[in-house]
Amino acid sequence: MSQINRRKAATLFVIAALFASVLSIPTAIQAASTPAAVSTGKIVFDYSHGQAPTDSGVQALDASLEGNLTAMGYDVVWAKGGINSTVLTGAVGFIAGSIYGAGNGYLAAEVTAIAAWFNAGNKFMWIGYDSDYTAAPDAGQWNNDNMTMILEAVGSHIYGEPTAIEDPVSNCASPYRAVANTTSTDSFVAAINVGVSKVLMHGPTLIYYGNGTATTDPTDLETHSYDDIYPILMYGGNATITDGDTTDPIAHTIGDTGNFVAVALEMTAGDNETGSLVASGASPYGGYQPMFSDTYKNVTLDGYNFVLNTIDFGITHIPALPEPTSPTSTTSTTTTPTGGLPIDMTTLLIIGGVAVVVIIIIVIVAKKR
pLDDT tens-digit profile of 312-349? 999 999 987 655 444 433 333 333 333 333 334 444 44
**Choice among 3-7, 45-49, 287-291, 327-331 with the minimum mean pLDDT:** 327-331
Please name the residue ranges forming H helices in 159-222: none
CB-CB contact of 280 with 261 (8 Å): no
Closest CA to 147 of 281, 287, 285: 281
- d(Cα 14, Cα 1) in Å, to the nearest integer? 18
Question: Residue 27 pLDDT more than 50?
Answer: no
Which value, in Å, is the radius of gyration of the alpha carbons in the chain?
29
Please report, rounded to a whole number, the percentage of residues in the chain having pLDDT higher than 70.
74
- d(Cα 32, Cα 250) in Å, to the nearest integer? 58
Q: What is the pLDDT of residues 99-145, one digit of tens each?
A: 988 789 999 999 999 999 999 999 999 999 999 876 554 446 888 99
CB-CB contact of 69 with 76 (8 Å): yes
Residue 364's pLDDT is: 52
Instruction: Provide the β-strand partners of residue 278.
Output: 126, 265
Please tell me which residue, 35 or 84, carries the higher pLDDT value. Answer: 84
pLDDT category of residue 359 using cuts at 50, 70 and 90: low
Residue 357's pLDDT is: 52
Give the mean pLDDT of 82-110.
Answer: 95
- d(Cα 130, Cα 310) in Å, to the nearest integer? 19
- Considering only the C-alpha atoms of the chain, give the largest distance between any 2 of them, rounded to a whole number of Å: 108
Instruction: Provide the β-strand partners of residue 257.
Output: 240
Please tell me which residue, 330 or 249, carries the higher pLDDT value. Answer: 249
- d(Cα 27, Cα 29) in Å, to the nearest integer? 5
CATH architecture of the domain with range 41-316: 3-Layer(aba) Sandwich (3.40)
Q: What is the pLDDT of residues 197-219, one digit of tens each?
A: 999 999 999 999 999 999 999 99
Instruction: Provide the β-strand partners of residue 266.
Output: 229, 277
Could you say which DSSP state residue 319 is in? P
Residue 297 identity (one-letter amino acid): K
Cite the beta strand spans of the chain per DSSP E: 41-46, 74-79, 91-96, 124-128, 158-160, 164-166, 177-180, 182-183, 199-202, 207-209, 229-234, 240-242, 261-269, 275-280, 295-296, 299-300
Give the mean pLDDT of 274-299.
Answer: 97
Please state whether beta strands 41-46 and 91-96 pair in parallel, antiparallel, or not at all (unpaired).
parallel
Closest CA to 228 of 190, 280, 267, 271: 267
Question: Residue 26 pLDDT more than 70?
Answer: no
Helix axes 3-33, 343-368, angle to 10 degrees: 180
Contacts of 198 (CB under 8 A, 6+ apart): 170, 179, 180, 181, 299, 300, 301, 302, 303
Domain positions in the chain are 3-34+339-368, 41-316
Question: Is the pTM above the cut of 0.85?
Answer: no
- d(Cα 76, Cα 94) in Å, to the nearest integer? 10
Residue 140's pLDDT is: 67
